[in-house]
Structures are given as structure tokens and as C-alpha cells.
Structure 1
């Protein structure tokens, strides 16, 4: 039985344009305004919501948008083993999954926050952070938790089933992949409905369909899982 190759190079890069807004249009508008240069106000922004609502996608999309403009930004998440010191050329600091930060990461996050808002050189920078809980409910050191709630706070809403279908359809179309209704409902009814997991599954299906030169059908989904 041929093993499924997992080195997938076909996944789309996170962007604000590829994010399905649904009930979260105000959040995306806020991020687009900032990354487009319409405003560079350094008021902190915090996004919160349960796993799968798109927080990481949005932070990565902002990071990519800044990079495309030749702008540098600091990045910290719970998997960052050793973060750098605050850099003077950063225009922003992006901190993901803050609810998972250990003591060292919390120290780094607080240091970045202070340096971003009161830098020794240059003007204040933007802080964009995300976590699963609203600021007041985070189990973090007090000085970091209170700062995360200083500015704009957005609670991201989870998409309903119709909106999840729209996201899958949009992502499949972007890959040139024909995703029929039967396959879509089969996937939604049998796999995690977390959007991150669904996007990863779609990447696997896209790669496997190309590898086997078969159309995306329910038997293909089953065959991929058997091979994997």
C-alpha cells in the first residue's frame, strides 16, 4: 500500500483576503485598515475565541501582509523556544496563543509589550495578540493580562455549518479542486469541525487526488485515510 506523502506544498498562505469573514467582518476590517497603512495607531488589539475560529490565520495573515510591504514584525507563540529581544526595526509585535504561554514566554511578551508602547527609539508600535479567553479570564501574570485588555478587544465567533461549507468551497476553489456537496458533508460529519483541521485535511485531499490522478470523491477520502 503506497504511503501518503505528507510534504505538502500546495496549501494556500494565510491572507486577510482568503479569510471568510462571516460574523467576524468587523475584526477583518480593523486588521485590513491597519495593514493597509490607513492607520498606524499603536493601540493594542486582542483577539479571542475558541480553537478553530481563525485567530492564528488572522495573525499569520497580518504578518504576511507586513512582510510583503517590507516591514518587520516580532512573532511569538507557545511553540517559540527562544524569542529574540525586542528589535527597533519592528513595526508591530504579534503574539499568538497567549493562554498557553509559560513563565519565560510571559516575561518575553510583557517585555515586548512595554517596548512596543514605550520604545527607547522611534514611535510606539502595534501589539496584536490572540488567545482562547477574554483578557480578564487569562491565567497569566497580572501586568501582562491587564495590558492585553487595554485596547481593542474582539471576540471571534465560530462559523455555523453553512459558513463552514462556504469556507471549504472557497478553499477548494482556490486550489482548483472540485469539492462536491456529498464529499463536503461527508467530511463535515466525520471529521473535526475545527477550521484549521479542515484546511489541513483539504490540503491532504488535494495532494492525494493529484498523486493518484483521481477525482475527489468519498471513496478517494476513504482510500487516503487507509493509505495514511
Structure 2
């Protein structure tokens, strides 16, 4: 087994609604699980709360479209003016980063969404940004539209939620993480769950390679190996 365990090179698991750790955001997750055409959902919260994870999870099939600035605004405008609308779900991430053209395209898209909401051409709009609708740095007519339907604030996970998620991730791989290992990770490592999940996966493989039990010294060895290999690659 090679050193392809380097954390910076190990991709996190693909985003899905199933591997999103809801914590106090269960109501928002339930709404996303049961989205339907003609509805709009706006998610907001600080970086790292899982906004992009959720939007990418929803847009993972051929009937959905995912957009994030600085993508070309014309893509949104083409969707807004297509007849019939080409997607059942349109997910737009980081709305606060839309430039003037992007905001104009989103305005047109919202009007089209409202126009066909109750028809067979209806589609769902799922949007995300870093602050509440009326606080967004957007044109006024867009700020009000963000609040037209369902709005959810996503709260960061507590350390208890992260600890449970880490242990569950390990359990799914047939591992058991000690309280010492979990506490060290939560204190010294990344806080977003995609990176934490990738760490558990890497730790599992590293323990098999080294034929050692998962302990705090083994975890530190893995991180040190990752750092030295990354530095060597940069030379």
C-alpha cells in the first residue's frame, strides 16, 4: 500500500444528504429531503456549516443543475428563458458572490420560477448564501425574493455532534475511536465534517498499512507523514 493516504490528496466522500451531519439543522435537512417542484428554499449560515455540501448533494443527478459564482451568468439566463425549463431542480450556491449580470439572471430565474410554479413546468429553486436574505449584498428586488418561500439558518455543529459523527464514521468502517483520539482531533484538526470524515478514512488505511491499532501516537504519525510528503512534493 502506498502513501496515497496523504490527507491533502485524499478526496472527501461525495456529498449526499445521508452523510450530512444535521446536528441542530434537522428541520432544514427534512425540507431538502422532501423538496418538490414549485418550491424555493434558501439556506444561510457561516462558512463550514454545510451549505455547499447540501446543494451539491441535491444536484447530483441529470435532472438538476448546480451553479456557483464566478460561473458565467449566461448559464442561469439560458435556463430562465428556456421553454420548457430544462431542470426540475436548480441549486445556486454563494448567492452573495453574484455580480451584476448574475443578479440580473437570478432575478429573471425567480420570475420564471414563480410563473410556472403551479404548472407541469414547475421547478424547485434551492439557494444558499452567507447571511439572512435582507442582509445580503444584492439588489433590493433579489433580497426580498430570497425570502419568498422557505428560509433556514444552518447552525454550526457542536463538538458533541462532531464527536458523535466521528465515532459513527469510524463505526461504519468497523473501527472504534478512543475518547482521547476524538478529543485531540476536535481540538487540533479541521472542524468541517468532510475533512474529518476524510481523516477517519485515512486513519483506517494507515493503521492497516502499519499493522498498528488506532491510537493518538498513530494519528500523529499519519499527520506528520502527510506534512513531510506534502513538503517534499513542493520542492
TM-score range, shorter chain: 0.7 to 0.9
- Aligned twin of 2:103: 106
Contact 2:55 2:66 in 1 (8 A): no
SS of 1:216's equivalent in the other structure is coil
- Aligned twin of 2:53: 57
Contact 1:95 1:109 in 2 (8 A): no
Using the TM superposition, give the Cα deviation of residue 130 of structure 1 relative to its aligned residue in structure 2, in angstroms: 1.0
Are positions 1:75 and 2:73 aligned together?
no
Are positions 1:142 and 2:140 aligned together?
yes
Displaced runs of 4+ in structure 1, greater than 6 A? none
TM-score, normalised by the number of residues in structure 1 = 0.79
Q: CA RMSD in A?
A: 3.0
| Whole-Å separation in 1 of the counterparts to 2:89 and 2:102 | 17
Contact 2:37 2:88 in 1 (8 A): no
| Aligned residue-pair number | 217
| Whole-Å separation in 2 of the counterparts to 1:79 and 1:215 | 45
Higher mean C-alpha deviation, range 15-24 or range 202-211: 202-211
Q: How does 1:1-228 map to 2 (within 5 A)?
A: 4-5=5-6, 6-8=8-10, 11-34=12-35, 40-64=36-60, 67=61, 71-78=62-69, 80=71, 84=75, 85-86=78-79, 88-118=85-115, 123-228=121-226
Contact 1:165 1:184 in 2 (8 A): yes
| Whole-Å separation in 2 of the counterparts to 1:103 and 1:201 | 39
Distance 1:130 1:226, change over 3 A: same
Contact 1:92 1:116 in 2 (8 A): no
Structure 2 unmatched runs, 5+: 227-235
Using the TM superposition, give the Cα deviation of residue 150 of structure 1 relative to its aligned residue in structure 2, in angstroms: 1.1
Higher mean C-alpha deviation, range 71-80 or range 92-101: 71-80
Contact 1:117 1:126 in 2 (8 A): no
Deviations 1:176-215 (A, max 9, x none): 4432221111100112323344334334434544554543
Asked which structure has the greater CA Rg, the reply is: 2
Higher mean C-alpha deviation, range 165-174 or range 199-208: 199-208
Higher mean C-alpha deviation, range 192-201 or range 71-80: 192-201
Using the TM superposition, give the Cα deviation of residue 122 of structure 1 relative to its aligned residue in structure 2, in angstroms: 5.2
Contact 2:56 2:66 in 1 (8 A): no
Contact 1:8 1:207 in 2 (8 A): no
Distance 1:103 1:30, change over 3 A: same
Structure 1 unmatched runs, 5+: 35-39
SS of 2:191's equivalent in the other structure is coil
